[in-house]
């Protein structure tokens, strides 16, 4: 993989932060995932779209817990050298995000499926791999360079965001968008035509798994069955809390 574009987090937000993983902002990367494997994932996702996908929250249609229904996704998540390469770009060792309901997903976007509204990510780090990008008008990743809370308050009031602080990244097959989009105001630009299918793979810091922004109420907005709660609490008990206490004691 090689980096086609990069902006660090300090530049992206216009301020420095303590609560972050490295200084990763957002990158576009030419990946080397096998094209036939990604095509197989896309075809399987299309086959189960009506049965397994839903648009519950943020105007986003997606298959949650996607690796459960499409096992080939695990081959991408654990492809040789992937974690090592992404960790090197961040400057901190990463691990796959552990919560099944959101560790991987396949999203569908278009005039009928919708495009995700303004938000900040729950998982700290995300890799978005374009599986299909056909006849698309709009549909770029749209990020606003500014404070998250102030930006979301302005959007809630119906204010227009200054165009000179907006940045856009076009999805394209053969590349992935890799970013620390927790507390970064972003959305998918509305689409007037075309089709986008994307594989989402979330990650976090191995040594600081407590750096996260997925509170239980936010996860429940997309996953109201609460079947994931026991695993979530177990992760807090056995990974997040011990790591946080160790981190706090070392400072």
Helix (H) / strand (E) containing 198: strand 191-205
pLDDT of residue 1: 76
**Burial class of residue 124 (count of CB atoms within 10 Å of its CB; 0-12, 13-18, 19+):** buried
Angstrom distance (rounded) from CA 223 to CA 54: 10
The tokens for 73 are: 């996704």
The SS3 call for residue 2 is: strand
Which structural domains are found in the chain, ordered by start? 2-249 (2.60.120.620)
The radius of gyration computed from the CA coordinates of the chain, to the nearest angstrom, equals: 17
Model confidence over 67-98: pLDDT tens digits? 999 999 999 999 999 999 999 999 999 999 99
Q: 11 with 142: CB under 8 angstroms?
A: no
The SS3 call for residue 27 is: strand
Model confidence over 7-52: pLDDT tens digits? 999 999 989 999 999 999 999 999 999 999 999 999 999 999 999 9
Name which residue leads in pLDDT, 57 or 39. Answer: 39
Residue with tokens 């998250």: 148
The reported pTM is 0.95
How far is C-alpha 221 from the chain's CA centre? 16
Task: Tell me the residue length of the chain.
Answer: 251
């Amino acid at each position: 993989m090689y980096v086609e574009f990069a902006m660090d987090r300090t530049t992206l937000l216009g301020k420095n932060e303590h609560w972050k993983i490295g200084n990763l902002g957002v990158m576009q990367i030419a990946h080397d995932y096998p094209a036939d494997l990604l095509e197989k994932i896309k075809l399987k996702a299309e086959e189960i779209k009506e049965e397994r996908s839903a648009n519950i929250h943020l105007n986003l249609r997606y298959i949650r817990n996607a690796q459960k229904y499409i096992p080939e996704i695990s081959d991408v998540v654990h492809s040789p050298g992937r974690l090592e390469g992404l960790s090197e770009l961040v400057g901190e060792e990463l691990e796959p995000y552990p919560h099944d309901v959101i560790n991987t997903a396949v999203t569908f976007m278009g005039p009928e499926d919708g495009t995700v509204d303004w938000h900040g990510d729950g998982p700290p780090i995300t890799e978005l791999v374009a599986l299909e990008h056909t006849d698309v008008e709009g549909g770029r990743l749209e990020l606003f360079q500014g404070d998250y809370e102030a930006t979301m308050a302005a959007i809630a009031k119906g204010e227009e965001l200054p165009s000179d602080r907006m940045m856009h990244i076009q999805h394209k097959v053969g590349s992935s968008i890799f970013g620390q989009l927790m507390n970064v105001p972003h959305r998918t630009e509305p689409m007037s035509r075309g089709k986008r299918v994307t594989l989402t793979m979330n990650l976090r810091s191995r040594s600081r798994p407590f750096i996260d922004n997925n509170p239980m109420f936010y996860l429940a907005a997309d996953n109201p069955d609460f079947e994931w709660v026991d695993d979530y609490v177990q992760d807090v008990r056995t990974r997040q809390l011990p790591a946080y206490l160790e981190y706090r004691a070392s400072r």
